[in-house]
Structure 1
Amino acid sequence: MVKISVIGAGAIGGNLARKLGAAGHDVQVAGARGPEAVAPGVLETGAHAVALEDAAKGRDAVILAIPFGVAGQLAGLFASVPAETVVIDTSNYYPHLSGRIEAVEGGAVESVYTSEILGRPVVKAWNAALAETQRTKDVPAGTPGRTAIPVVGDSEEAKVVAMRLVDDTGFDA
């Protein structure tokens, strides 16, 4: 069992909270509008809602299921989080949604940019599949034709954690 926080309770964050809760992990979810605004369906497999300021405390992994341009607003949450806490980013840069970010427009790799603004390494996962794919195309391990989700990062240990979680959501890593 991995202690996981999902920051973001929308389509992707909700999918991940439900699937990881169903897989037996200790899941908590934090949304921008507070714990009371997390939809009941997101909590249906045992996840529980928490305040954003508590989301990164005491967790083995924190999954950012937020728009790309928002991560910088969360840097303070990670100031006292142990280095071994794995941070997984699900976002992609879409200038029409996040606004133009000059560093990324200038060639900065998205994961490097996010890592720099958070002040810690990140792993990218689940960002290559749409929310509907994540919701409906999961199948048990070993199923022929199982969809694969790329997992990218510099830390082998962090990637192992992320790959296990991807597998637990019904996809090959």
Structure 2
Amino acid sequence: MATLGFIGAGAIGTTLARLAIAADFDVVLANSRGPQTLAATVERLGARARAATPEEAALADDQVVVSIPLAAYRQLPAAALEGKVVLDASNYYASRDGHLPALDAGELTTSELVQQHLGGATLVKAFNNLSAHHITALARPAGAADRTALPIAGDDPQAKAAADELISRLGFDTVDAGPLAESWRFEPETDAYTAPYCADPDALWAAWTQLAEALRTGTPPQAYAPDPGAPLPADRLRTLLAGASRKLTADRVIA
């Protein structure tokens, strides 16, 4: 029986774990606060899920999904992840993660930074460019006419092939965006980030702008109703990736 480890059990990690169980995986979930804090999550996911430490999740199988705030990347268990394919869903928000000069300047992408810490693992950037509720809304069986494509990036062709196979089992096609150095093409606020998966992209941008103003002024943000999602075919995603402009921290609405 195939097993998939998850380091990070927030909205993205838990949503993907649910899809993995539906795709006949056992799942091992970990967070930074200890297995005991995941009891309710594991109960909701059912008998094929169990809670563990990050080291145990890293050793669960040859592929591990990492979906943690970037500020915590140095806490990833590098030794336990050695030799693994790591699907990295991290994004950089300086207001949350603290300023990282190499990322602010565009000297590295987020996943290149994580790869430096995980020298013995092989990273594939994936799952960072759409929301958890869109993952749920847009997953489809292989061959479905309205299947959605997700971008991936990585430096190792075999690792990308393994990631493609896994992501297909979870319900999505993939588009190869190139090496980790090109993964900025689907980082926050680029053309391939979140908005093209929305039924109403204008509403999303308006919500981001309002949130940025709320963060700037310290006022409570307005509630935003989850968008129902719209399928994004592979050809359209390729066009968005090819035409992307890099958004450094200073260029973004929400930094």
Please state if 1:154 is matched with 2:155: yes
CA shift digits 1:75-101 (9 cap, x unpaired): xx2225442x11110111111221211
Secondary structure in 2 matching 1:59: coil
Structure with more relative contact order (C-alpha pairs < 8 Å, separation 6 or more) = 1
Distance 1:45 1:91, change over 3 A: farther
Secondary structure in 2 matching 1:122: strand
C-alpha displacement of 1:142: 1.3
CA shift digits 1:29-50 (9 cap, x unpaired): 1122211222135533612111
The answer to whether the Cα contact below 8 Å between 1:18 and 1:47 also exists between their aligned partners in 2 is no
CA distance in 1, matches of 2:138, 2:47: 18
Matched ranges for 1:59-138 at <5 A: 59-74=61-76, 77-83=77-83, 85-107=84-106, 108-119=108-119, 120-138=121-139
Structure having the higher Rg: 2
CA distance in 2, matches of 1:42, 1:78: 29
The answer to whether the Cα contact below 8 Å between 2:34 and 2:53 also exists between their aligned partners in 1 is yes
Q: Percent identity?
A: 39
Secondary structure in 2 matching 1:123: strand
- Structure 1 spans left out of the alignment, 5+ residues: none
What code does the residue aligned with 2:102 have? A
CA distance in 2, matches of 1:137, 1:121: 27
- Structure 2 spans left out of the alignment, 5+ residues: 175-255
The answer to whether the Cα contact below 8 Å between 2:4 and 2:28 also exists between their aligned partners in 1 is yes
The answer to whether the Cα contact below 8 Å between 1:18 and 1:42 also exists between their aligned partners in 2 is no
* Stretches of 4+ aligned residues off by more than 3 angstroms: none
Q: Indicate the residue corresponding to 2:142 in structure 1.
A: 141
Distance 1:122 1:19, change over 3 A: same
CA distance in 2, matches of 1:80, 1:17: 20
CA RMSD, 1 decimal: 1.8
Task: Give the length in aligned residue pairs.
Answer: 170
The answer to whether the Cα contact below 8 Å between 2:66 and 2:89 also exists between their aligned partners in 1 is yes
